[in-house]
Amino acid sequence: MAQREYSNYQKKVIGRYYDNRDQIDEQRLSELVTNLYLATTEKQKDRLWKSAEETMTRLKVPPTRVEHVIARREPEILAEVVKDIQSGAIKVGRK
């Protein structure tokens, strides 16, 4: 596969995305809580829980907390994680 060359503009856009990745992931996690409450099928819920696990891991939420949330599969517990991240009780992987 050929290496792609990005323009300076594209490089800046990509850089800004990764500079703000933590805030994007925090927002994504809070949206996942809402989506889990609204999900109607088990297939939807499975996909959303997988995404929640990946997002919490990327945010560097303690692994024991991630395991607990995924094991219980209750949106209320995930909402508590979001609340703790926003209040600063959980220090996410910020630079």
- In sequence order, which ranges of the chain are alpha helices (DSSP H)? 8-19, 21-38, 42-58, 63-72, 75-87
Ranges under pLDDT 70 in the chain: 1-2, 93-95
Mean pLDDT (the chain, rounded):
93
pTM: 0.84
pLDDT at 91 (0 to 100): 82
Q: What is the pLDDT of residues 58-77, one digit of tens each?
A: 999 999 999 999 999 999 99
- CB 39, CB 48: distance < 8 Å: yes
**Sequence ranges of the domains in the chain:** 22-87
